[in-house]
C-alpha cells in the first residue's frame, strides 16, 4: 500500500466528490470522505471472470468482440449445434446450427457470422459445410473448397479467409487458404507451415495465425498481407488448442492452450514480437476466443475436470484502478 510519505511534496487537489472520469496518474483528496485517492494503470492488462456459458463445451467456434460475441457447435457429449449470444453481461441460447459438429471455426460478428468446416461422428466425417448467421437463424451457403476442421477464420461475413485445419480423422495438417467474397470460396496463397488447433484473426487483407499442431505444439507465427503469408517472430511459449484475437496482422493477443498441459499464459503481439503479460485466471484449452489485443473474450474449453467448461473471462488492457492512500 502506498503511504503519504511516498508522495510528500506533491500538490493534491481537494474535491468534495470523486471525479467522474479521472485520468491515469491523477490524484485527489475527497474532503467529504476524508480519503486521498489516485488512478493507476496496469499496462500489462488483466483478466476478469464473467458470467458462465449455458452449455459447457470444447472445440467450438466463436467470433465477435468482448461486448458482443457468438459461440456455436463443439463437443459436449455428444456433439452439439447449440448457439449462444453474448451481450457483454450474459449468454443467451439462440437458434441452433443446422449441422451439429466439432472443430467448426468462424468469422464475422455476433449478428453477421460464418461457421465453416468441422467434423461429425458419422460419414462423411469431414465437413466443408458453411453456415451463415443473420442474427436470428443459420442458413447453409457455399461449401469450402476443401473439407476440414480446426482451421481458423478471419474477416467478415462478406469478405473473409479460412486457412489451415486438418484434412482427415486422423489426417494431415492443411496449409490451404481460401478467400470468401460473400458468395463463393477461392484458393489463395498457402500457409508456410501446415497446421491445425491453432489461433489467429484479422481481416481478409491483414491477418495473423499462431501456434498449433503438428508435430507437437508450435510457436510459429505467420502474417497475411492480402496475397501471401510471411513467417515472423515466434510465440514465447509453443502451444496448440489456444485462443486469440486480433485487429489485423500488427496487433494480436494469444491465450490459454496446451503446452502440453493446460496453459494460462497470455501474450500480446505488437507487429514485431510477442510479450508475456497477465495469465488467465483459469488455465484451459480448446475454448473459443473473440475480440482484439486490447479487449477480448475467452469462453469454455477443457480444464481436464470438468472436461466441458462454462468459464468465461474478459481481457482488458490497459487496466485502470483507483488506489486509496493511507498514512503510515
**CATH number for the domain harbouring residue 303:** 2.120.10.80
Supply the range of the domain harboring residue 31. Answer: 4-42
Assess whether 150 and 9 both reside in one domain.
no
CA-to-CA dists, residue 232 to 165, 209, 210, 253, 314, angstroms: 20, 10, 10, 15, 27
Assess whether 58 and 193 both reside in one domain.
yes
Assess whether 140 and 18 both reside in one domain.
no
Assess whether 32 and 92 both reside in one domain.
no
Q: pLDDT in tens for each of the 328 residues of the chain?
A: 343 334 445 567 888 888 876 766 677 788 888 877 766 555 668 999 999 999 999 999 999 999 999 999 999 988 999 999 999 999 999 999 999 999 999 999 999 999 999 999 888 899 999 999 999 999 999 999 999 999 999 999 999 999 999 988 888 999 999 999 999 999 999 999 999 999 999 999 999 999 999 888 999 999 999 999 999 999 999 999 999 999 999 999 999 999 999 999 999 999 999 999 999 999 999 999 999 999 999 999 999 878 899 999 999 986 555 556 554 4
Q: Is residue 326 a part of any domain in this protein?
A: no
Cell of 322: 483507483
Q: Is residue 327 a part of any domain in this protein?
A: no
Q: Which pLDDT belongs to residue 107?
A: 94
Q: Is residue 116 a part of any domain in this protein?
A: yes
Assess whether 207 and 116 both reside in one domain.
yes
Assess whether 55 and 9 both reside in one domain.
no
Distance CA 311, CA 78 (A): 20
65 by Cβ neighbours in 10 Å (0-12 / 13-18 / 19+) ranks as middle
Assess whether 161 and 287 both reside in one domain.
yes
Q: Is residue 324 a part of any domain in this protein?
A: no
Q: Is residue 260 a part of any domain in this protein?
A: yes
Assess whether 19 and 88 both reside in one domain.
no
Q: Which pLDDT belongs to residue 2?
A: 40
Question: Half-sphere exposure (CA, 13 Å, Cβ side) for 310?
Answer: 10
Other C-beta atoms within 10 Å of 192: how many?
Answer: 13
Q: Which pLDDT belongs to residue 5?
A: 39
Is the separation of the CB atoms in 282 and 303 below 8 Å? Answer: yes
Q: How many domains does the chain have?
A: 2
| Full DSSP string of 236-255 | SS--BS-EEEEEETTEEEEE
Q: Which of 125, 128, 133 is nearest to 117 (CA)?
A: 128
Alpha helices in the chain (DSSP H): none
Assess whether 38 and 65 both reside in one domain.
no
Assess whether 11 and 67 both reside in one domain.
no
Assess whether 23 and 61 both reside in one domain.
no
Q: Which pLDDT belongs to residue 1?
A: 37
Distance CA 61, CA 69 (A): 11
Model's pTM, two decimal places? 0.85
Q: How far apart are the first and last CA of the chain?
A: 10
Burial 129-140 (b: 16+ CB within 10 A, else e): bbbbbeeeebee
Assess whether 218 and 89 both reside in one domain.
yes
Q: Is residue 230 a part of any domain in this protein?
A: yes
Q: Is residue 306 a part of any domain in this protein?
A: yes
Q: Is residue 140 a part of any domain in this protein?
A: yes
Amino acid at each position: 500500500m502506498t503511504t503519504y510519505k511516498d508522495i510528500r511534496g506533491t500538490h493534491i487537489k481537494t474535491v468534495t466528490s470523486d471525479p467522474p472520469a479521472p485520468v491515469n496518474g491523477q490524484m485527489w483528496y475527497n474532503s467529504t470522505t476524508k480519503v486521498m485517492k489516485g488512478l493507476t494503470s496496469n499496462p500489462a492488462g488483466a483478466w476478469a471472470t464473467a458470467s458462465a456459458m449455458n452449455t459447457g463445451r470444447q472445440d467450438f467456434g466463436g467470433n465477435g468482440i468482448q461486448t458482443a460475441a457468438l459461440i456455436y457447435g463443439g463437443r459436449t457429449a455428444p456433439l452439439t449445434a447449440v448457439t449462444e449470444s453474448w451481450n457483454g453481461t450474459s449468454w443467451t441460447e439462440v437458434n441452433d446450427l443446422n449441422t451439429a459438429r466439432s472443430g467448426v471455426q468462424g468469422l464475422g460478428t455476433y449478428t453477421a457470422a460464418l461457421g465453416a468446416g468441422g467434423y461429425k461422428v458419422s460419414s462423411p466425417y469431414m465437413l466443408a459445410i458453411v453456415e451463415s448467421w443473420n442474427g436470428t437463424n443459420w442458413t447453409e451457403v457455399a461449401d469450402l473448397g476443401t473439407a476440414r476442421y480446426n482451421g481458423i477464420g478471419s474477416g467478415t461475413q462478406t469478405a473473409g479467409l479460412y486457412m489451415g485445419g486438418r484434412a482427415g480423422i486422423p489426417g494431415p495438417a492443411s496449409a490451404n487458404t481460401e478467400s470468401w467474397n460473400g458468395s463463393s470460396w477461392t484458393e489463395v496463397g498457402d500457409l508456410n507451415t501446415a497446421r491445425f488447433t491453432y489461433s489467429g484473426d484479422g481481416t481478409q487483407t491483414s491477418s495473423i495465425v499462431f501456434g498449433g499442431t503438428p508435430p507437437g505444439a508450435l510457436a510459429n507465427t505467420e502474417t497475411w498481407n492480402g496475397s501471401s503469408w510471411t513467417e515472423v517472430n515466434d510465440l514465447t511459449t509453443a502451444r496448440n488448442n489456444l485462443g486469440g484475437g486480433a485487429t489485423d496482422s500488427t496487433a494480436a493477443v494469444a491465450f490459454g492452450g496446451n503446452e502440453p498441459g493446460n496453459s494460462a499464459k497470455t501474450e500480446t503481439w505488437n507487429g514485431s514480437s510477442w510479450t508475456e503479460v497477465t495469465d488467465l485466471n483459469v488455465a484451459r484449452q480448446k475454448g473459443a476466443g473473440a475480440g482484439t489485443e486490447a479487449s477480448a473474450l475467452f469462453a469454455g474449453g477443457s480444464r481436464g475436470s470438468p472436461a466441458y467448461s462454462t468459464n468465461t473471462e474478459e481481457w482488458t488492457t490497459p487496466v485502470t484502478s483507483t488506489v486509496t492512500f493511507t498514512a503510515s
